[in-house]
Amino acid sequence: MSEESKPLDILVLPQPRRVVRLRGSCRLSPGASVEIRVDDGRIDRHVASWLSQLPKEEQLTSEVAVNLVIGIDSGLTTQAYKLSITPEKVLLEGGSAVGCFYGLQTLRQMSATTGGLLPCCAIEDEPVFQTRGVLHDITRGKVPTLETLKHLVDRLSLLKINQLQLYIEHAFAYSFDSDICGDADGLTPDDARAMDEYCHEGFIELVPAVANLGHMGRILSMPKYRELAEIPANSTWQDMPWPARARGFTLDADHPASIELVEKIWRDIFAAFSSPVVNICGDEPWDLGRGRETLSDEARMEKYFGHVCRVAALCEKEGRRVQMWSDVLTKYPGSRGQLPKDITILHWGYDETADYAATASFVDRGYRTFVCPGTIGWKRIINAMDAAEHNIQTFAIVGMKAGAHGLINTDWGDHGHFNLLACSWHGITLGASLAWDADHVTGAAFDALFAHAVEGDSGREFVSALRQASAIGGVHETWRLLWQSEDMRKDQEYWPTADELEACIESSQQVSTLKNDMPVMTHLNRVDLDELAMACMFNGIAARRMLWEVRRRAGLSSPDSNERIAWADELLSCLPDYEACWRERNKETGLADIRAAIMRVVDEARMRK
């Protein structure tokens, strides 16, 4: 006898799309009888790893011997799977080894907090988007360790993500010039090759996303390359403020030495990454046609597409399929015909200016199109969870209706990458869920699932407080509150109310308090909790600084020198713990910039009358 079940009864992310709940349960253990009919050794290894983590048979009260059978059903699409769980047998069938792997991830999550106890049910599941990815910024401050990147792959695999892009401007140890980035400061070719193998094991494609037109600030600020910029740098990279670094410099694409530099960059990337897919970026070439010569829009676009086509041809010659960002094509829609039809368009936008409707125009013109929302953590202390949810959900729905092929969720680190990885897990998990099913639950229902998956049953209140604490990040880049002087922020357009700021402060404190009562299930869980609590601590400190200005504007009293000094002392006292969080998962690169920026604000607060 069966009963229809709401997907929420199955504590899995992404939620399976079709579930029928059956009466009863079964319990798997390391001693279960296993029959694998899939000719892919990765499935054998993942099954063995999963079962070895379950409680041993002698610890269980059940006397029922359970069989686990995994096989191929040629009637299913490649990434689809179906599960039948009865008290005596677990049958997993996939349209391919990939489908079987996704079904296995569902089983892993179902058994994660139950000691191998599985609810009897029948599941039929497959994704809406064939490509479901995450782009992770490794170049604008933080450079993750290899161990951290592997941890990221493990988490993404569990969420059925099948593409990971690593965004690189300069943080790669190029063989042609060790001055750009040394082995200790960036991703090395050996790191990339190790990640290639690790991603393959987790059924994930590792894609390099490499800036080679705009956003080349670090390279083009070096004296030996300055002549290759449309507008040459007049200061060193170290002396530039973060907004200038984020804007970067644009390569003079017609200079013969520029073409040679791009070829050298890609030659090293090709040697380190085996993926048949590369992202040539091409976004935000701010200075193109505005430096050495002033060009008309038509001439600028001719220069732009000349560069894109040269790089695309270079990549295609090496057997690589090309992706690129959409912003220039969106701004100059009449120029799209100059682009080769075999390029994949990565259509992005993150705020109220996002042109969601342009997705259909790219698809209708015959381009393979991915929608690319974001976790909205860059330039913030805590990711703006409400804003990210709106952005991701809207792009998922628009992309599904337009016939987009994929969804790549972006996780940037603009302005020094102060934002901590754990703060992005909510947005990353939501993106994976909506990429699997654009009609996936969101809001409080998703938060409940996320809390259970990440922190166990005790996590609901914790995640609820985290969402409340993140609210002002939807309308204000909160990291600016900790690195900009007060005078730099006087002209900002939006100011939260005192009530909103006080609610933010209260929720931030609540997260830190709740963290102390959370169960620490694993070492990684501890790191996540430490990072989230640390971010909320800084978030509350930043909100108090903004509250001063809000009260001053309302005609209330400004803080006296003692209050400012106390605030500065608290900010400074948190810095060592933040540095410890940084070093837990990342190389030292970029941390000195964070410390210097916070010290400037501390000094200002102590000296200001």
In the block, which residue shows the tokens 């106890």? 117
Say which DSSP state 181 is in.
-
Burial tier of 509 (Cβ tally within 10 Å: 0-12, 13-18, 19+): middle
Tell me if 449 is assigned to some domain. no
At residue 2, the pLDDT reads: 42
Which pLDDT score, from 0 to 100, does residue 125 have?
Answer: 98
CB contact at 8 A, 118 and 90: yes
The pTM for the full model equals: 0.95
Same domain membership, residue 194 and residue 84: no
Rounded to 5 degrees, φ, ψ at 341 are -70, -15
> Does any domain span residue 453?
no
Helix (H, G, I), strand (E, B) or coil at 410: strand
Q: What is the DSSP string of 110-137?
A: HHTTTTTEEEEEEEEE--SSSEEEEEEE
Higher pLDDT, 518 or 15: 15
Per-residue pLDDT reduced to its tens digit, 148-190: 999 999 999 999 999 999 999 999 999 999 999 988 899 999 9
Biggest alpha carbon–alpha carbon distance for the chain: 81
CATH number at residue 80: 3.30.379.10
* Residue that finishes a domain, picked among 125, 153, 182: 125
Q: What does DSSP say about strands 81-85 and 89-94: parallel, antiparallel, or unpaired? A: antiparallel
The token pair that represents 183 in the structure block? 């082995």
- Give CA angle at 16 (439, 468), nearest 5°: 55
Backbone angles phi, psi at 84, to 5 degrees: -125, 115
Question: Dihedral angle at the C-alpha atoms of 127, 443, 456, 128, nearest 10 degrees?
Answer: 0
**7 pLDDT more than 80:** no
Same domain for 466 and 434, yes or no, is no
Q: Which of 261-265, 484-488, 530-534, 570-574 bottoms out in mean pLDDT, i.e. has the lowest?
A: 484-488
Q: Give the DSSP H/E element, type plus range, for residue 207.
A: strand 205-210
1: which 2 tokens? Answer: 């006898």
Domain's final residue, options 125, 157, 185: 125
CB 287 within 8 A of CB 231: yes
Same domain? For 325 and 402 the reply is yes
Measuring CA to CA, which residue among 526, 313, 535 is closest to residue 424? 535
Answer whether residue 447 is part of any domain.
no
Per-residue pLDDT at 452 = 83
Q: Is 452 part of any domain?
A: no
Q: Which of the two residues, 605 and 38, has the higher pLDDT score? A: 38
Q: Which domain holds residue 294?
A: 131-440
Q: Is residue 351 part of a domain?
A: yes
Tell me if 50 is assigned to some domain: yes
237 and 282 part of one domain = yes
Residues 118 and 137 in one domain: no
**Do residues 368 and 508 share a domain?**
no
Say yes or no: 139 and 245 in one domain: yes
In this prediction, residues 9-20 reach a mean pLDDT of 91
HSE-up of residue 452 (Cα within 13 Å, Cβ side): 20
Residue 68, strand partner residues: 34, 90
Contacts of residue 411, Cβ cutoff 8 Å, sequence gap at least 6: 134, 135, 136, 137, 374, 375, 377, 424, 427, 428
The Cα–Cα gap between 391 and 393 comes to: 6
Does one domain contain both 255 and 397? yes
Whether the predicted pLDDT of 608 surpasses 90 = no
Q: Is the pLDDT of residue 488 over 80?
A: no
The one-letter code for the residue type at 510 is: Q
Among residues 412, 440, 468, the one where a domain terminates is: 440
Please give the structure tokens belonging to residue 533: 């609590």
In this structure, what CATH number is given to the domain that contains residue 422?
Answer: 3.20.20.80
Instruction: Give CA–CA dist 69/104, Å, rounded.
Output: 11
Residue 202 Cα distances to 45, 198, 408, angstroms: 11, 7, 18
Identify which of 191, 202, 200, 204 has the alpha carbon closest to the alpha carbon of residue 148. 191
Give counts: helices (H), strands (E), the chain.
19, 15
Judgement on whether residues 436 and 525 belong to the same structural domain of the protein: no
Q: Calculate the average pLDDT of the chain.
A: 92
**Whether 224 and 334 share a structural domain:** yes
> Does 451 reside within a domain?
no
Q: What number of other Cβ atoms are within 10 A of residue 360's Cβ?
A: 17
The pLDDT tens digits for 278-317 are 999 999 999 999 988 899 999 999 999 999 999 999 999 9
- Read off the tokens for 94: 């996939």
Tell me what pLDDT residue 114 has.
82
Lowest mean pLDDT among 79-93, 411-425, 547-561: 547-561
Going by C-beta distance under 8 Å and a sequence separation of 6 or more, which residues neighbour residue 69? 34, 35, 37, 89, 90, 91, 92
Q: Please state the φ and ψ torsions of residue 75, each to the nearest 5 degrees.
A: -80, -10
Q: Tokens representing 530?
A: 């430490």
Total domain count, the chain: 3
What does DSSP assign to residue 15?
Answer: P
CA distance 389 to 375: 8
| CB-neighbour burial class of residue 533 (10 A; exposed 0-12, middle 13-18, buried 19+) | buried
Q: Which two tokens stand for residue 346?
A: 């990565």
pLDDT, average across residues 15-37 = 93
Report d(CA 71, CA 92) in Å as an integer: 6
φ, ψ at 462 (rounded to 5°): -60, -50
Instruction: Evaluate whether 500 touches 470 at the Cβ level (below 8 Å).
Output: no
Q: How many residues does the chain have?
A: 609
- Considering only residues 61 and 282, tell me which one the structure prediction assigns the higher pLDDT: 282
My answer on whether 301 and 178 are in the same domain is yes
| Cα(500)–Cα(504) distance, integer angstroms | 6
Clarify whether residues 298 and 275 are in a common domain. yes
At 184, give phi and psi (nearest 5°).
-75, -15
Other CB atoms within 10 A of residue 222 CB: 17
pLDDT for 64: 55
Buried b / exposed e across 338-359, counting CB within 10 Å, b at 16+? ebeeebbbbbbbbeeebebebb
Rounded-to-integer distance, Cα 92 and Cα 85, Å: 9
The amino acid at residue 233 is A
**pLDDT digit string (tens) for 499-543?**
999 999 999 999 988 888 776 655 557 889 899 999 999 999 999
In this structure, is residue 276 part of a structural domain?
yes
